[in-house]
Chains A and B, each alone.
Chain A
Amino acid sequence: MAGLFTIDFTTALLFGAVTAGIPLLLAGLGEQISEKAGVLNIGIEGMMLFGAYTGFLVAFKSGSIWLGFLGGAGGGAAVALLMAIFCVWLGMNQIVIGIALTLGAEGLTALLHHFQFSRTYPRLDSIETLPLPLISEIPVLGRALFDHHPLVYLAVLLAFFLVWLFRRTYIGLNLQAAGDKPAALDAAGVDVYVTRTCAVLATGALAGIGGAYLANVGAGLFLPFMTNGAGFIGIVLAMLARGQPLWVLLGATLFGVSLALTTALQVAGLNIPTDVVQMLPFAMVMVVLVLFARHSYLPPALGLPYVRGER
Chain B
Amino acid sequence: MSRLRTLSALTLGAVLGLAVTAQAGEIKSIAILVPEQGTDYGWNQQGVDAARTVAEKFGLEFLPAEGLGYGDVRPTLRELAEEGASLMIAHASGYNTAAPEIAAETGTPVAIVDRPDDMKAGLVADYTLSGHEGAYLAGIMAAKMTQTGTVGIVVSGEPPSWNSQSAGFALGAKAENPGIDIVYAVIGPAAYADAAGGRRVTESVISAGADIVFGQGNGSSFGMIQAVETTKATNGGKAWFIDVIGDKSELDKGHLLSSVLWDMVPVYSAMVEDIKADTFGSRGYKISLADDSVRLLQTPHIPDDVWADLMKTRDDIVGGSVAIDEITDAQEVRALMTSVEAAE
Which residue numbers of A lie inside 8 Å of B, CB to CB?
A: 1-4, 6, 8-9, 11-13, 15-16, 19-20, 23, 106-107, 110-111, 113-114, 118-121, 123, 125-126, 214-215, 218-221, 223-226, 228, 259-260, 262-264, 266-271, 273-275, 277-278
Contact = CB atoms under 8 A, between A and B. Distances in A.
Given A12-B207, A123-B222, A263-B201, A268 B341 contact: yes
Interface core residue of A9, A223, A278 (most chain B CB under 10 Å): A223
A23 to B, nearest CB: 8
B179 interface: no
B130 to A, nearest CB: 19
A220 B197 contact: no
B185 A114 contact: no
Contact of B203 (A4, A16, A225): A16
Contact of B208 (A9, A20, A218, A223): A9
A123 B229 contact: yes
28 contacts: A4-B340, A8-B208, A9-B208, A12-B204, A16-B204, A23-B196, A106-B69, A114-B37, A123-B222, A126-B230, A214-B196, A218-B195, A219-B195, A219-B222, A221-B226, A223-B219, A225-B36, A226-B196, A228-B191, A228-B193, A259-B197, A262-B188, A263-B185, A263-B201, A267-B208, A267-B339, A271-B335, A278-B186
A223 B217 CA distance: 13
Contacts of B238: none
Q: Specify the main secondary structure of chain A where it touches its partner.
A: helix
Interface of B: 36-37, 39-41, 67, 69-70, 158, 183-186, 188-189, 191, 193-201, 203-209, 219, 222-223, 225-226, 229-230, 234, 251, 253, 330-331, 334-335, 337-342, 344
Contacts of A12: 203-204, 206-208
Contacts of B225: 123
Contacts of B203: 12, 15-16
Contacts, number: 158
Given A8-B207, A220-B226, A119 B331 contact: no
B340 A221 contact: no
A225 B341 contact: no
A310 B189 CA distance: 46
A262 B67 CA distance: 30
A126 B222 CA distance: 14
A126 B230 CA distance: 7
Contacts of A19: 196, 200
Contacts of B69: 106, 225
